[in-house]
Amino acid sequence: MPPSTIKALPKSNESKLAKLGLRTDMDLVLHLPMRYEDETQVVTIREACLRGGHVSQVEGVVTKNEISFKPRKQLIVTIADETGELNLRFMNYYGSQVRQLAEGVRVRARAELKHGFFGAEMVHPGYKVIIEGAPLPSELTPVYPSGVGLSQAILRREIAAAMKRIDWHDTLPLALRAQMQLVDFEPAVRLLHYPPQEIDEGALADRSHPAWTRMKFDELLAQQLSLKRAQRARRAKGAPLLRAVGALSEAFLEILPFQLTGAQARVLKEIRADLRNPYPMQRLLQGDVGSGKTIVAALAAAQAIDSGYQAALMAPTEILADQHFRKIAGWLEPLGVKVAWLTGSLKKKAKIEATALVESGAAQLVIGTHALIQDSVNFAKLGLVIVDEQHRFGVGQRLTLRNKGSNGKTPHQLMMSATPIPRTLAMTYYADLEVSVIDELPPGRSPIVTRAIDQNRRDEVIERVHAAALEGRQVYWVCPLIEESEALQLQTATDTHATLAEALPDLQVGLVHGRMKAAEKQEVMDAFTANEVQVLVATTVIEVGVDVPNASLMVIEHAERFGLSQLHQLRGRVGRGSAASVCLLLYQSPLGGIAKQRLMTMRETTDGFEIARRDLEIRGPGEFLGARQSGEAMLRFADLENDGWLVDQAREVAQSLLENPHAANAAIVEAHLARWLGGKEDFLKV
Ligand code: ADP
Ligand code: MG
């Protein structure tokens, strides 16, 4: 297929279309309507008035056209047919519209009919100036998903034009279409853009119509093909052989102050087996907050070191990286492992030293933040890359670290996340990812009780904090998220700290936020860990990973502003010791529908998988994964809740097309991917 471009469009439109992801003719053709308007029928004005409250289309001649200034400036156009008359009211209008709707002009107008103060009226109707006897369309009129400043008229025109230019050949062979009972591509697409008047509108709206099924299948097939190809490409790469589970691994297990849980032992076995393969591992280690992923990662690192390679552990924040460093170095350095520490806030000299350790291979393990992926960091012999809280990193960042292997070998990759990906999502978005799950918490944890409390009871909450601290418990107080302004967020944190310090004079109240220097943050965290500080006021910098087992009360202000996974992560900072933990979600009423659902979910469950499932339900997969994760919301049509059966079918077809790679199949795969993914395929590869 020759690449086609959108021509003959003003630049501004082109960029607006591009914002919607519409760059080629095929993109436009696959930009399907979200709903339709029925302009196929006209009723008399009298009939429309009788039906009242419904959307109707009427036709009449303009009898009056005036700009009224009361109660505000507006254009009122009166039209009449032989059965009655009706006002069209425009609160916003252009001068050209005033001229266009001159007396004597014939119009068709479509809107809900209301009975206003001056009689029957339509407010801001859709309308067309026509000549008498102009035929009615026989098809429904498409309404497309649109962006700012992009009118339906432009979209309709561009899409119709693109439909004349594209190559319509069906990418699926006839036999396959017959076998899967799929309708043909071209008629399906045409029908979805221009459905005939008599179509089953319910099946169009809920996307169960066979034409929709074809679109969904094609989309899912493209995705599965692309993922499977990525998987093959990965398997074709060489990786360091990390075969030895030797002295270090054994000594490490011996000095651990606890036994691995059954789940930890199981996932460790899965990872160990992967590391022995001659191609790079790509494994996601999922486990709810507090399930003990760090130790598993450290044991994987020990295997790399035992095999004579280096391992790198990258965490999204300095606080977390530091915590890992202390914990893991505390375990491994006594066993003779050199652990290097590398973050952006290191002094120049220290940075140069750390980089040298990494480059010479003297450091067998490197722990740090994004600083690890700087160009200046070269590894002597990188065997294993570990990315903690992987969802916090962009695809490109993870890729950069993985590309730091040497001798043409791609290091193994272990990603960790407490944000679980439900099975259907994992299957569609991460087909090239093995998944290990820690589905068991270490013993001795007590459940967290969660309550939602109106913000106006803040004083009672402060008293509660006081009482808890006097009992020897430690408290996190999380400040509200202020997305618009980091400065404002900081201000709020500082204010909250001052208020709490004043209200709790007999306690030590600490403050930690993202703008503090790393050393300052560290000092506060240390004091909190040592229980010199009882109440820690924090912004979301503590969201990930922070582990202070004695903290057992968490207060989150303006909890309604946080997303579900963020609330779950925050709450995961408590419930790490044996004391009964409490999480108080302060909210500002009145609560919106989604916020209410979120808080209810938080009260009802502490199971990260269940929370993720509901989050997916509330937000949909595109938002759930976030643009950073998915590159783009790759599935536009298929809906994972309802179309799971199609996912399975698409997977099987993809499998068989790739497994029998004779020329015909290869051509099908190419054509199908070109049509559906164009240049977007790269996002799926990491
Ligand atoms: P996460 O999975 O959220 O990253 P961590 O790795 O930080 O969890 O572990 C949470 C806490 O549980 C840590 O203090 C860790 O030392 C402890 N821990 C991990 N595994 C076990 C175990 N098998 N038994 C007891 N405590 C454990
Ligand atoms: Mg962790």
Pocket test of ligand 1: the residue of 253, 255, 256, 258 to mutate, having most ligand atoms within 8 Å of its CB, is: 258
* Residue 522 pLDDT > 90: no
For 293-334, the pLDDT digits (tens) are: 999 999 999 999 999 999 999 998 888 898 899 899 999 999
User: Is residue 576 lining ligand 1, measured as CB closer than 6 Å?
Assistant: yes
Closest atom of ligand 1 to CA, residue 388: 4
CA of 295 to the centre of ligand 1 (A): 7
Q: Which residue, 369, 400, 586, 356, is CA-closest to 478?
A: 586
Per-residue pLDDT tens digits for 435-473? 899 989 898 887 899 999 999 999 999 999 999 999 989
CA of 249 to the centre of ligand 2 (A): 20
Ligand 1 center from residue 574 Cα (angstroms): 13
Mean pLDDT within 244-254: 91
pLDDT over 90 at 613, yes or no: no
Point out the ligand 1 atom lying closest to the alpha carbon of residue 293. 2
Ligand 1 contact, 295 CB (< 6 A):
yes
Stretch among 83-92, 252-261, 509-518, 620-629 having the lowest mean pLDDT = 620-629
For ion ligand 2, residues whose CB falls within 5 Å: 545
Q: Which ligand is nearest to the CA of 288?
A: 1
Find the angle CA(242)-CA(246)-CA(247) to the nearest 5 degrees.
Answer: 140
* Paired tokens of 369: 């933040």
Ligand nearest to the CA of 320: 2
Q: Residue 130: helix, strand or coil by DSSP? A: strand
d(CA 376, ligand 1 centre) in Å = 33
Ligand 1, atom nearest to 444 Cα: 25
Identify which has the larger pLDDT, 489 or 134.
134
Q: Which atom of ligand 1 lies nearest, measured to the CA of 264?
A: 23
Answer yes or no: is pLDDT of 77 > 80. yes
**DSSP tag of 561:** G
For the chain, which residues make up each domain, given as ranges? 3-36+143-199, 41-136, 448-605
What's the whole-number average pLDDT of the chain? 87
- Ligand whose nearest atom lies closest to the CA of 285: 1
- CA 606 to ligand 2 centroid distance, Å: 17
Give the per-residue pLDDT at 621. 55
pLDDT of 623 over the 70 cut: no
**Which amino acid is it at 359?**
E
Asked whether the predicted pLDDT for residue 496 surpasses 90, the reply is yes
Q: Using the mean position of ligand 1's atoms as its centre, give its distance from the Cα of residue 519 in Å.
A: 25
Query: Domain 448-605 belongs to what topology?
Result: Rossmann fold (3.40.50)
Q: Is 261 in the pocket of ligand 1 (CB under 6 A)?
A: yes
Closest ligand 1 atom, CA of 296?
Answer: 6
Q: Is 320 in the pocket of ligand 1 (CB under 6 A)?
A: no
Name the amino acid, one letter, at 671.
Answer: A
Average pLDDT over residues 389-408: 79
Q: How confident is the model at residue 543 (pLDDT cuts 50, 70, 90)?
A: low
What pLDDT is recorded for position 425?
66
Which pTM does this prediction carry? 0.68
Cα separation of 544 and 640, whole Å?
Answer: 28
Ligand nearest the Cα of residue 313 is 2
Give 14's contacts (C-beta < 8 A, 6+ positions apart): 6
What Cα–Cα distance (Å) separates residue 245 from each residue in 71, 186, 266, 279, 684? 82, 57, 15, 18, 32
pLDDT of residue 7: 46
- pLDDT, tens only, 105-136: 999 999 998 887 778 899 999 899 999 999 99
Check pocket membership of 293 for ligand 1, CB cut-off 6 A. Answer: yes
Distances (CA, A) of 68 to 72, 91, 109, 173, 391: 7, 10, 20, 62, 56
> How many angstroms separate the alpha carbon of residue 280 from the centre of ligand 1?
27
Q: What is the mean pLDDT of residues 398-411?
A: 83
The CA 6 to ligand 2 mean position distance, Å, reads 47
Atom 14, ligand 1: residue with shortest CA distance: 547
CATH class of the domain at 41-136: mainly beta
* Residue 509 alpha carbon to ligand 2 centre in Å: 25
CA 172 to centroid of ligand 1, rounded, Å: 50
Structure tokens at 393: 């990193």
672-686 residue pLDDT tens: 999 988 755 544 443
Instruction: Tell me the per-residue pLDDT of 20-47, one tens digit each, with 9 for 90 and over.
Output: 778 889 999 999 998 898 899 999 999 9
pLDDT for 58 beyond 80: yes
The C-alpha torsion from 532 through 537 and 540 to 546, rounded to 10°, is 20
Cβ of 57 closer than 6 Å to ligand 1, yes or no, is: no
